[in-house]
Structure 1
Amino acid sequence: MTVTTRSVEYPADGLTMVSHLALPSGDGPRPAVLVGPEGPGLNAFQRRRADALAELGYVALAFDIHGGRWFDDPQEMLARVMPLLGDPERLRDIGHAALDVLRAEPRTDPDRVAAIGYGTGGAIGLELGRAGVPLRAIATVNGLITGRPGEAANIPCPVWAGVGSEDPIQPPAQREAFAAEMQEAGVDWRLVVYGGAQHAFHHPPTNPDGSVTTDGEYGQAVLPGVGYHARHAQRAWDDVVGLLAECLA
């Protein structure tokens, strides 16, 4: 399938976001997917996620969260991301801005939209659900962030979550709190724990500019407990694709 891509700029969180839109071949409206990036931001790997979804027939927007920046310094990244994760309204504003761009695309079927995300991007998808946005599905990998009391009852769609068993950033207590929130709210939810995987297990090693390395080693300083797991990365992607097929058909 031929895929067409372009950059889209728009304001959000006081920044100019530079997101990546991927369109499948054809002319008619198609189901659509928001793709939220990890804490360091949007890079070529996440853009290729959107391209892969377009190859499957979805309109996909890999959205920016840092105004065109990708953080190679973990401490700089945390200084930007931690205040975001502590402010649901800011997360929602970033998500709503991206969603507006996706829905404005003529190829998008506005009644069939899902959100998938990784880390911070997954938290944004969940906050859109807690705000009652009529999504068809939400998937979050390493983004098991609990919300404000009672708001999970607004989530209108199935939620799928994936996490590594050895992830120190999303430890068992966090997983249990997330599961309890979803269960108490009556959400149709699933949680997959990938044995032996650490945080960001889905993302291949990168160079300082965010490009994927070719020698299998990290070319940047990373936080403890972060590591790539190729088999589980593929399994998590397959699980996400399966959720989209189930909910956007």
Structure 2
Amino acid sequence: MESQDLIIAAKEGNLETVKKLHKEGIDLNTINSSGASALIVAVEKEQEEVVSYLIKAGADLNIETKMGGTALTRAAENGNLTMINQLFEKGVNVSSLALIVAARKGNLEAVQLLTEKGADIDFQQRWGHTALMVAAKSGSLDVVKYLIEEGANISLRDRNGDTAMMIANENDHDDVVLVLKRAGAITESKPKKEKNTAPAPEDEEEEEIDDTPDVEDLVSDEQAPDEIDLDD
């Protein structure tokens, strides 16, 4: 149970307990039943002191939960530039999924930073959604503009056959539609051979990153390791 105590302490921002357990020999990289480490939980809860301590103490920056979540995707979702930079300074792996998460949440500065660090701007997760598509879905105009300026492919389709333009149009984001049109996107129907098998970007499954009793289980039956946190 002491290993789980570390994760609980990290979640709650209890730095002294984290230090105590570490000194007693508890593995900093222990995980809970969802595969989340103390660092992942601390980043998700924006416990800055705990995050700094765990990073300096050598916690593994690249642990993935069962659903593919990492410390970097948590920081990207929160738009926490300080934590994103801390992770990169210590050599965290670049994550294109983190870019999608940041774009979905409209976190422009996080999107910019992740792009600068080498995230693939046209990365498509299992359902084919890109950063541009999820930004178009949420109406994040600044993010859409930035991604287009950086060369995002406006013609890519998800597994529904939808482009970013179609997604924006379907959700009445007229300002996003206008920007995409100016970039050369055209309004068109999805190919007849395509089947509507993919969930809409906002219907993506969320990842459960903590299994302590007070946390609601957010895991759906269709989650896959490369899909996380695109839902509200």
Q: TM-score normalized by structure 2?
A: 0.39
Structure with the higher helix share, 1 or 2: 2
Q: TM-score normalized by structure 1?
A: 0.37
Structure with the higher strand share, 1 or 2: 1
